[in-house]
A and B are shown apart, each in its own frame.
Chain A
Amino acid sequence: MSQQLSINGVTHTVDVDEDTPLLWVLRDVVGLTGTKFGCGIALCGACTVHIDGVPRRACITSVKSLGNASIRTIEALETTPVGRSLQKAWLDLEVVQCGYCQSGQLMSAAALLAGNAAPSDADIDTVMSGNVCRCGTYGRIRAAIKQAANEIQHTTPEGAQ
């Protein structure tokens, strides 16, 4: 089945079975390998992307369910102020250990800050509980989200976005 997908602002025509998970299309067909496969059962969050702004697990999202939705992946993170602040905070605090979970962590963090410009520890824990890090970088992730939120509030007059 041939289908058009809007990924990071670019339209891609892909020819895959309609029940193919988006994650397979991103990685194997379109060549965007930043989004990772962790569990394949919507449990770990490594495959998190944004679909029309909502964080979704690409491993269990079939292409047929996407329609004209706008898909954004880790490769487009740097195109928003929130994304750039998160990248900077991640580097400043050296959040990453092995790195495998981090694109999913960052996409969840970006969705969090887009909806909540000044999250409390509890807000962060509630949202980021959907992303597993086997290296245990949770403490640094929380600190980096706070740093990014702070920076966005002080550098962008209208806050997030």
Chain B
Amino acid sequence: MNRAHALALLCIVFASMSLADAPLEPLRAPQAFDSIRNRAARSNAYFTEAAKVLQHPRCLNCHPATRTPTQGDDLHPHMPLVQAGPENRGTKELPCSSCHGPENAPTLGGRVKSVPGNEHWSLAPASMAWQGLTTAQICEQIKDPKRNGNRTLAQIEKHLAEDHLVGWAWHPGEGRAPAPGTQEVFGQLIAAWVKTGAHCQQASL
């Protein structure tokens, strides 16, 4: 087989790979950062690794900059156009639950393979908008009780490690790439970050 043939074959192989076949994006466990001696730098490294999840489309789509969610890996506007409403679950007359049930729903046909769902399907409050923020800005926001739903760091740690809706990011339904790694490793990274002082990179750095 000459090079052109090999290349063509490779293209066919990649083109036929579905999302389900795509390798999961890795997420390094806290131990990977043991060699960083400076505590603040190590703390920041944990958060930066965890931010691969926070900055992933599965999370960003429902932490939008406006009160309208986005969709897909390219964060395009949600179709149909919907509004967060007063309680972040859509308006009373067009709630998120009109389309998003208690679990992911397979579709019968069409290019969208499933409609995502969860018992607590909702949009993040406006104070928790992440789209357009740097990792350092998200870090500061997550620590700020005025913007994090009045949570302590211990509550943040538990929320991110155990919450079912957060966990949806790793089980997003057919046709959607999951967030990197696992919720367990993500939780370990956040725990390590908190334990080492919850340092954030300075926004100016």
Contact = CB atoms under 8 A, between A and B. Distances in A.
Contact of B93 (A39, A112, A132): A112
A interface bracket (residues with beta carbon within 8 Å of B): 20 to 34
Contacts of A19: 106
Interface in B49-93: 79-83, 91-93
Contacts of B92: 115-116
Interface stretch (B37-45, B95-103, B129-137): B95-103
Contacts, number: 74
B10 interface: no
Interface string A116-143: 1000000000110111100000000000
Interface residues of B, number: 23
Contacts of B91: 126-127
B20 interface: no
B93 A43 contact: no
Helix, strand, loop or mixed for chain A's interface? mixed
A65 B80 contact: no
B80 A62 contact: no
Main secondary structure of the interface of B (DSSP, over half): loop
Given A116-B93, A126-B91, A129-B82, A40 B108 contact: yes
Contacts of B26: none
A154 B181 CA distance: 59
B82, B92, B99, B109 pick with most chain A CB within 10 angstroms = B99
Given A43-B79, A129-B81, A132-B80, A54 B98 contact: yes
A56 B98 contact: yes
Among all A-B residue pairs, the 8 with the closest Cβ atoms: A42-B99, A41-B112, A60-B105, A127-B93, A41-B110, A112-B93, A127-B94, A129-B81
Interface of B: 79-83, 91-95, 97-99, 101-102, 105-110, 112, 115
